[in-house]
Amino acid sequence: MWARLADEAPRFFTYYNGIFLLQAMGATLLLSLGGCLAGSFFGLLLVLLRKTKGALFLVPRALAWGFVEFFRRVPPLVVLLLAFFASNLVKMDVSLFLVALVALTFVATAFMAEIIRAGIEGVHPNQWDSAATMNFGYLRTMLTIILPQAWKIILPPAFSFFLLFVKDTAFASQLGTLELTYAGKVLTSRGFTAVLSYGSILVLYFALSYPLARFGAWLEDRLAPSGNH
Amino acid sequence: MPHLEITNLDAAYKSQPVLSGVSLSVEKGEVVSLIGPSGSGKSTLLRVLVGLLPPRKGTVVLDGTPVDYSDQRSLRALRDRCAIVFQQFNLFRNMDVLRNVTIAPVKIKKRDRREVEAEAEALLAKVGLGDKLRAYPSELSGGQQQRVAIARALALRPEILLLDEVTSALDPELVQEVLDIIRLLVGEGMTMLVVSHEMGFVREVSSRVALMSAGAIVEIGSPAQIFDAPKTERAKDFVAKILRAH
């Protein structure tokens, strides 16, 4: 096997394959980053809706709950395929990349909503009591008192989700989105050995995830001194 | 006209009744203490008063204006005038001492920040924490946190101060420093409704003492009357128990 790899390597590690792989890596990066950021943002919005009280927000609260419960229970691949066929059905002229990004964001939103909700519920309820008796409204309490205390509870599970999510973006290859996993397929079908093709992809996935994991650890460390506040 | 008048108040946690038919009036400048065994509804009465637990029945009238607990505006107006200090201090743990005291006057009452900060610094100096402005709650002892909580309540310029077992969560050696602050406020004529297990203190500062049992006020009167000459069997029994304990 080594002889074959050594023979094939010069043909594999060319400028064009390099560009091709970098493009694919860029797509995976965008899908991951986009999904994580948009998922965190929309997840937070869903939580803000879900933690409301009173009849006025009953319907949005129920919808937020339904969204989270549904998309956490469906395999991401099914969500992607569904999004793909739905976009075909309505004859929307959008790129596969965008379809994949939207579908993955749905999944990330549902998971992040649960992670953020758990963090918010980890803050002592007496913080709500004193805010209420001082006439703080719901949003102000959330943004100035609860979330600043919740986010160090949220960070660790959020980053372990982000790391899983980078790998979940591989499902986008099933739609034919050119990202890392799809690039691996393309290279093998061009006749390169799977060990080289998927081996390179493996290294590139690692190159994406590792800095993310380090960044998460750094953030947690930075929060540690204020951990007892 | 009483400053605060509570009539026939009923409240329940889920289906468990916790207050039944509580009536009490507080005059301006009075210190009314609520005593009684654990679970008798003393703290619950304060929570109902500030709208943390909606009453089932009864009325609360503040300076002649009835409070409608289902109406946000009415509730806000009430909370604007009544401040509460909790047993567990409930300081905002993500903010330093000064910000804990100033945030509500600045952000909610929209007062001038510099003026509020000067006032907060004076209040914190008054409770003996003038050197802890930048400390976080986790860096303070329980007694210090409770003194911050009292300063925070005072910064709201309340007309009535509700104190909910403010020394119960403190180590014994820290109790006095908090009681001293309250004595100071009593001396300044602050109207207060106090829930406390510190019987000596209650006897010393109260204008009137109300004994609660099973969600109701069973006897109310001057400290001398309640502690030395209780009329009801329930009060006699309670006083005998605390005397035995001391």
Q: Dump pLDDT digits (tens) for B6-64.
A: 999 999 998 899 999 999 999 999 999 999 998 899 999 999 999 999 999 999 999 99
Task: Find, among B118, B120, B124, B210, the residue nearest to B157 by Cα.
Answer: B120
Rounded Cα–Cα distance for residues A183 and A19 (Å): 11
Instruction: State residue B174's pLDDT score.
Output: 87
Instruction: State residue A228's pLDDT score.
Output: 46
- State percent of chain B over pLDDT 70: 99
Task: State the CATH class of domain A2-221.
Answer: mainly alpha
As for the ipTM of the complex, it is 0.91
Homologous superfamily of B4-245:
P-loop containing nucleotide triphosphate hydrolases (3.40.50.300)
Instruction: State residue A154's pLDDT score.
Output: 95
- Contact residues for B103 (Cβ-Cβ < 8 A; gap 6+): A144, B92, B95
pLDDT per residue as tens digits for the range B225-238: 999 999 999 999 99
The SS3 assignment for B218 reads strand
**Shortest CA gap A212–chain B (Å):** 26
- Contact residues for B213 (Cβ-Cβ < 8 A; gap 6+): B36, B37, B40, B234, B238
B1 or A115, which is more confident? A115
Residues in chain A closer than 8 A to B93 (CB atoms)? 124, 127, 149, 229
Question: How many residues are there in chain B?
Answer: 246
Nearest CB to A229 within list B90, B93, B156: B93
Contact between chains at B93 and A129 (C-beta distance less than 8 A): no
Beta bridge partners of B57: B10
B101 or B239, which is more confident? B101
Helix (H) or strand (E) holding B20: strand B16-26
Mean pLDDT over B67-92 rounds to: 95
Instruction: State residue A227's pLDDT score.
Output: 45
Task: Find, among B82, B105, B91, B88, the residue nearest to B148 by Cα.
Answer: B91
Each domain of chain A, given as residue ranges in start order, spans: 2-221
**Shortest CA gap B50–chain A (Å):** 6
Chain B residues at the A interface, defined by Cβ less than 8 Å, are 50-52, 76, 79-80, 83-84, 86, 88, 90-95, 103-104, 107-108, 136-138, 156
Residues in chain A closer than 8 A to B91 (CB atoms)? 130
Low-confidence ranges of chain A (pLDDT < 70): 224-229
pLDDT band at B246 (very low <50, low <70, confident <90, very high): low
Tell me B189's DSSP state.
T
Rounded Cα–Cα distance for residues A96 and A102 (Å): 10
Tell me B66's DSSP state.
E
Question: How many residues are there in chain A?
Answer: 229
- Residues B62 and B238: beta-carbon distance below 8 Å: no
- State percent of chain B over pLDDT 90: 87
Task: Count CB atoms within 10 A of the CB of residue B244.
Answer: 7
Rounded Cα–Cα distance for residues B2 and B193 (Å): 14
**Shortest CA gap A120–chain B (Å):** 14
Would you state the structure tokens that stand for residue A178, as one six-digit string? 């050119």
